[in-house]
Amino acid sequence: MKNLTTFIVLIFTFIFHTNCKSQQVNTVNKTTNKIIERKVDSVLALMTLQEKIGQMNQYASSWDVTGPPSNVSDNEKLEILKNGGVGSMLNVLSVKATREAQKLVMENSRLKIPLIFGYDVIHGYKTIFPTPLGESASWDLEIIKKSAAVAAKEAAAAGVHWTFAPMLDVSRDARWGRIMEGSGEDPYLTAKIGVARIQGLQGDDLANENTIAACAKHFAGYGFAEAGRDYNTVNIGEFELHNTILPPFKAAAEAGVATFMNSFNEIDGIPATGHKELQRTILKEGWNWDGFIVSDWGSIGEMIAHGYAKNKKHASEIAANAGSDMDMESYAYQNHLEQLVNEGKVDIKYIDDAVKRILRVKFRLGLFDDPYKYCNEEREQSEIYSKENQALAREVAKRSIVLLKNDSKLLPINKNIKSIAVIGPLADDKDTPIGNWRAQGMENSAVSVLEGIKNAISSNTKITYHKGGDLITSEIKEGENQFLLPITFNTTDQSDIPAAVKTAKNAEVVILAIGESAYQSGEGRSQVSIGFSGVQQELLKAVYKVNKNVIVVLMNGRPMDISWAAKNIPSILECWHLGSQSGNAIADVLFGDYNPSGKLPVSFPYNVGQEPLYYNHKNTGRPNNPVHVTYSGYTDSPKTALYPFGYGLSYTTFDYDNLKLNKTKISKNGEIEVSIEVSNIGKFDGEEVVQLYIRDMVGSITRPVKELKGFEKIAIKAGEKKTVTFIINAETLQFYTANKKWEVEPGDFNIWIGGDSNAPLKASFTVVE
Whose CA is closest to 133, among 613, 484, 579, 688? Answer: 579
Whole-angstrom distance, CA of residue 752 vs CA of residue 314? 52
Strand pairing category for 259-262 and 266-267: unpaired
Cβ atoms 644, 600 nearer than 8 A: yes
Whole-angstrom distance, CA of residue 54 vs CA of residue 77? 12
Whose CA is closest to 576, among 594, 548, 591, 596? Answer: 596
Whole-angstrom distance, CA of residue 380 vs CA of residue 43? 31
Whole-angstrom distance, CA of residue 122 vs CA of residue 92? 16
Bond before 617 cis per omega within 30 degrees = no
Whole-angstrom distance, CA of residue 577 vs CA of residue 566? 20
How far separated are the first and last CA of the chain, in Å rounded? 69
Beta bridge mates, 151? none
Whose CA is closest to 536, among 560, 519, 557? Answer: 560
Q: Please compute Rg for the chain using Cα positions.
A: 27
* Catalytic residue chosen out of the listed positions 296, 325, 369, 561: 296
What contacts 95, CB < 8 A, 6 or more positions away? 157, 158, 159, 374, 375, 376, 377, 380
Cβ atoms 95, 377 nearer than 8 A: yes
621 burial class (0-12, 13-18, 19+ CB within 10 angstroms)?
exposed
Whole-angstrom distance, CA of residue 260 vs CA of residue 280? 12
What is the torsional sign of CA 155, 160, 164, 165?
Answer: positive
Q: How many CB atoms lie within 10 A of CB 120?
A: 17
Can you list the positions of beta strands (E) in 307-378?
327-328
Beta bridge mates, 30? none
AA letter at 647:
Y
Whole-angstrom distance, CA of residue 42 vs CA of residue 55? 15
Question: How many whole angstroms from its chain centre is CA 282?
Answer: 22
Whole-angstrom distance, CA of residue 671 vs CA of residue 125? 43
Q: Active-site residue 296, yes or no?
A: yes
Per-residue burial over 254-274, b = 16 or more CB atoms within 10 Å of its CB, e = otherwise? ebbbbbbbbbbbbbeebbbbb
Whole-angstrom distance, CA of residue 225 vs CA of residue 179? 11
Q: Which sequence positions are flagged as catalytic?
A: 296
